[in-house]
Structure formats: C-alpha cells, structure tokens
C-alpha cells in the first residue's frame, strides 16, 4: 500500500486548530489538547525461536483522560513510530467524543513485522510489552484493544499477563477479547458494521438507493472485509477489493463472502483468489476506480496530493484511521467529493468496546441483537449530530465531526479546570 511521507500528528493539529477557530475557541481553551497527557516508550526484549534476543520498540500514548479512561488499540507494524501513535491516540479522543461515549483517547504499538514471527514469538512479545506498559493501563485508567495486526488472541495474552501480575482476573483491562474470557458478542464485526451504518446514513441523506451502487474497498481485514460483506447484503455492488497482497476488480461485482473465506484460510491474504471476469489491478488503480463509494480501510496516508486528483468516487467513507492527508482533503473538497471522516465512520469498534467494558464492569453479558441495535442507535445519533453542524455551518463533514468532538472535550476540560 502506498504511503506518502508526512507527519500524521501535524495533520491532526492542523484540523484541531481549524475546528477551534470555527467554534470561536480561544487558544487557552484547548491548548492542552494539542499535547498528549502521557507518552511511554519501551524497549521490549524478546527471545526468538532461534535463541537470538531482539529488542523491539514499543509505545503507549495517552492523549486525553478528560472525559473518562483512555481507550485505544495496539498495532504491530513496521511503520509504527512515536508520531504515528501520538496521532492515533488523538484521533481516538475525537472519535470517542463524536460518538459521545465516556472515554478519552490512547494508542499503542510495537515496531515489528508480525507476519515474519511465529505464534510463540508474538506471544512473548505481547506478554513482555504488556508487562512494560502495565503501570499506566487498567480498567479505570487505559483500556487497550485490537488494531492493525493484532486480534482477540493478542488481547487474551494481554488480559492474562495483566491478571497474573495483579493476582486476580481483570477482564476489563482490554476489549476485543475472545467471548470465552469476557469478550462481547458482536465486537469482531463492530467496526465494519459501523461503517455499514454510516454508508446507509449518508445515502439516506442524499436520497440514494443502495441497490446497484458500486463500492471499492481498500483493505480486506476485520474492518474492510466485514464492511464489504454487510454492504453486499444491503444490495451494494462491491466491484473492487484489496489488501497488502493484491487488488482485485470485477465490474459485475465480487462475491465478497467467498473472497473473505478464502483470505481467512490463506494467511488473511487475497492473493490467489479467482472469479470469472475478475482482474488483478494495482492498489492505486483501486483507489481511483470510477465507483459511487470508496472505502479506504487499510492504513493512514493512502489518499495523498499525488493521487487525489485521480479519485473518481462520488463519496468516500473512511474506515481506516487517517487514510487521507490534509492536502488531499482540500483537493477532494474542490472536486465536490463528499468525505465521511474516520472519527465518525469507523467508530463502531470503540462503541462496542465500550459495551464490552461495561459488561465486564457489571459482570453481565448482553445478547448480540441488543448490542447491534445499541450500536446502530449510537452511530445514527452521532451521524445526525455531525450532519446538523455540517448543514448549519456550511462546513465539510470532517470539520463538522471535529467541531462536535472538540466542543465536547473542551467543555469538559473547562468544567474540570487545571490541577492544582
């Protein structure tokens, strides 16, 4: 996947300043939100299967605890660095605020190549990383979750490590766990389901019909793959899909359920999947397909000033965090491409993570239909809040989402004041 070099934290700050200006905030009203509350960098020693000891760089950043415990995923990826994790933590603050759940933002990551590591090596890495960030995490402080290249099993190792060091079971220390140890029904599909609700909300506002509308999805994991399957069930035609191994296009629509099953049994990769009349294209061609809706669901900085002029989708729904650079955003806005931002569109995961945490704290389990209905209610309400600001202030949906989020966090910060 292409990734133009830019500083994602600077991108976040630029949007923050513009939103503050639109809201009429003084610099003093939000200056604290320009900086993370806490940055932890750890060196994680791991004994590899061949007996060699390797030191991995890890991070846990807490951007804001103004509205509640910090919340955010942990990713394993070679691109992980401090600026990326800082930006992701800040985006979590805005994401939690825009859907109005009582969390602040955090994020974690380890710079590694997980696809080249054995399960035992990943387990040792996870346990040592968890032990090293243990002083700042916990159900009442900071609750990690899965992100890029981490999953329910990684969360199980994190939960077990934390619990062993505490001396008792603490299921609420992470979310996205297996259901057998306190995970929530519906959590694995929650981000993709939230994207689906967002797509339905935007086409409803535009008075469009799902049947026959074409969609291209970049990224085909738990977010992009699930969103594609759910949208296909709603009548959309998924004509393009991609992951790190390849990009595929079929004008009449891809059987996404079959493709998802293939990837699940093929190391989570699409390479080798075939259908009649389907062709392999490059990632940038997928982003620039002539479709009704484009869903970037991979990594940040995929739509840049280099390819934004070639984007032909009428609507973009950001399922990944930060897939569009600020420069690209301006280009797309001038082309009248409607952009539904990440902090709104992909918030389904953190919403159901919140539900999981509540269930853990109450020692109670909700059924899946109840969870999915509650998720829909939260996503629909958040969309309406953002759409109202979009209409009333004649601003982009991204700016509207930032305005909603910043207003909530800045008001909470003002009420709490500064200690001491």
Whether 339 is in a domain gets the answer yes
Q: Express as a percent the part of the chain with pLDDT over 90.
A: 94
User: Are both 133 and 217 inside the same structural domain?
Assistant: no
User: Are both 291 and 149 inside the same structural domain?
Assistant: no
Whether 374 is in a domain gets the answer no
pLDDT at 3: 44
User: Are both 43 and 105 inside the same structural domain?
Assistant: yes
Whether 317 is in a domain gets the answer yes
User: Are both 169 and 90 inside the same structural domain?
Assistant: yes
Q: Give the residue from 150, 177, 204 where a domain finishes.
A: 177
User: Are both 197 and 339 inside the same structural domain?
Assistant: yes
User: Are both 198 and 248 inside the same structural domain?
Assistant: yes
CATH of the domain at 319: 3.40.50.720
Whether the model clears a pTM of 0.85, i.e. scores above it, the answer is yes
**E strands, 271-407, where?**
279-281, 293-296, 315-317, 338-340
User: Are both 127 and 196 inside the same structural domain?
Assistant: no
CA 169 to chain centre: 28
Whether 24 is in a domain gets the answer no
Residue 297: CA count within 13 A, CB half-sphere: 32
User: Are both 198 and 154 inside the same structural domain?
Assistant: no
Whether 242 is in a domain gets the answer yes
* Residues spanned by the domain of 83: 36-177
Residues across the chain: 420
Q: Express as a percent the part of the chain with pLDDT over 70.
A: 99
| Nearest CA-CA partner of 160 in 127, 115, 189 | 127
User: Are both 43 and 120 inside the same structural domain?
Assistant: yes
- 412 vs 401: CA distance, rounded Å: 17
Whether 220 is in a domain gets the answer yes
Average pLDDT on 262-285 reads: 93
Q: Which member of 71, 86, 95, 107 is catalytic?
A: 107
Q: Is 52 a catalytic residue?
A: no
User: Are both 195 and 70 inside the same structural domain?
Assistant: no
Q: Check pLDDT > 50 for residue 323.
A: yes
User: Are both 54 and 172 inside the same structural domain?
Assistant: yes
* DSSP conformational letter for 103: -
Q: How confident is the model at residue 240 (pLDDT cuts 50, 70, 90)?
A: very high
- C-alpha triplet 248, 245, 259: angle, nearest 5°: 50
Q: Give the residue from 155, 177, 199 where a domain finishes.
A: 177
Q: Is 9 exposed, middle or buried (0-12, 13-18, 19+ CB in 10 A)?
A: buried
Average pLDDT on 268-295 reads: 95
Helix spans in 167-295 (H): 190-205, 224-233, 256-264, 283-287
Tokens of 175: 């979310």
User: Are both 308 and 196 inside the same structural domain?
Assistant: yes
pLDDT at 4: 47
> pLDDT for 92-141, tens place per residue?
999 999 999 999 999 999 999 999 999 999 999 999 999 999 999 999 99
Q: Give the residue from 146, 177, 208 where a domain finishes.
A: 177
Whether 144 is in a domain gets the answer yes
What's the structural domain count of the chain? 2
Whether 411 is in a domain gets the answer no
- Range scoring the smallest mean pLDDT among 153-157, 300-304, 387-391: 300-304
CATH of the domain at 99: 3.40.50.10860
> pLDDT for 17-69, tens place per residue?
999 999 999 999 999 999 999 999 999 999 999 999 999 999 999 999 999 99
């Amino acid at each position: 996947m292409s990734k133009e070099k830019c500083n994602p934290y600077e991108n976040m700050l630029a949007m923050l300043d513009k939103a503050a200006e639109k809201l009429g905030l003084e610099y003093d009203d939000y200056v604290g939100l320009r900086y993370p509350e806490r940055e932890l960098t750890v060196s994680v020693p791991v004994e590899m299967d061949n007996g060699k000891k390797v030191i991995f760089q890890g991070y846990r950043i807490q951007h804001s605890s103004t509205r509640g415990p910090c919340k955010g995923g942990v990713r394993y990826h070679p691109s992980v660095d401090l600026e990326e994790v800082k930006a992701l933590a800040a985006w979590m603050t805005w994401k939690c605020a825009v859907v109005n759940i009582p969390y602040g933002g955090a994020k974690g990551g380890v710079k590694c190549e997980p696809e080249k590591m054995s399960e035992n090596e990943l387990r040792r890495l996870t346990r040592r990383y968890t032990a090293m960030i243990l002083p700042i995490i916990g159900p009442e402080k900071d609750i990690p979750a899965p992100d890029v290249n981490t999953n329910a099993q990684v969360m199980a190792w994190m939960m077990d490590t934390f619990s062993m060091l505490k001396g008792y079971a603490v299921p609420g220390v992470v979310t996205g766990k297996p259901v057998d140890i306190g995970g929530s029904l519906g959590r694995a599909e929650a981000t993709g389901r939230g994207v689906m609700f967002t797509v339905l909300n935007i086409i409803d506002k535009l008075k469009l019909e799902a049947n026959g509308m074409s969609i291209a999805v970049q990224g085909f994991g738990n977010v992009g793959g699930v969103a594609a399957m759910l949208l296909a069930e709603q009548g959309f035609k998924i004509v393009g899909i991609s992951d790190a191994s390849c990009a595929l296009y079929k004008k009449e629509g891809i059987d996404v359920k079959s493709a998802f099953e293939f990837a699940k049994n093929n190391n989570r990769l699409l390479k080798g999947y075939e259908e009649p009349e389907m062709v392999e294209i490059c990632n940038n061609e997928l982003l620039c397909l002539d479709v009704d809706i484009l869903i970037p669901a991979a990594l940040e900085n995929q739509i840049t000033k280099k390819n934004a002029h070639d984007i032909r989708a009428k609507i973009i729904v950001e399922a990944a965090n930060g897939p569009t650079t600020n420069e690209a955003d301006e280009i797309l806005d001038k082309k009248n491409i409607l952009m539904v931002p990440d902090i709104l569109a992909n918030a389904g995961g953190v919403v159901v993570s919140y539900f999981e945490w509540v269930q853990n704290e109450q020692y109670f389990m909700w059924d899946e239909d109840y969870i999915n209905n509650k998720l829909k209610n939260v996503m629909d309400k958040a969309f309406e809040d953002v759409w109202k600001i979009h209409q009333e202030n004649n601003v982009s949906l991204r700016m509207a989402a930032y305005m909603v989020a910043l207003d909530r966090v800045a008001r909470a910060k003002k009420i709490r004041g500064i200690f001491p």
